[in-house]
Amino acid sequence: MNRLLSDSDIGRIIEMAWEDRTPFEAIEASYGLCEAEVIKLMCRQLKPRSFKLWRARVAARKTKHLKLRGYRVGTFRCPTQKMR
């Protein structure tokens, strides 16, 4: 990582990395960290067991990579959810 990240930035990156629908490309666009850098950050910031669980979860998710997604990127809305 070439830039210094604040604690709040690191917290948001970890949150985005855990989210199923947030691809690594979104993290790169927002914070300039490629997938490998996000993995290194997660390894440093998480407990070993949490990191292992996260890696297993991410490895099984097509949604973490834009190229592997089978649907258009957009905002999910439940049919019963009212528009404002």
* Residue 4 pLDDT grade (very low, low, confident, very high; cuts 50, 70, 90): confident
How many Å apart are CA 7 and CA 34, to the nearest integer? 19
- What is the pTM (predicted TM-score) of this model? 0.72
Which residue in this structure is represented by tokens 């990156």? 13
Higher pLDDT: 73 or 23? It is 23
| Identity of the residue numbered 30 | S
**What integer is the mean pLDDT of 34-62?**
92
Residue 80 confidence (pLDDT) above 80: no
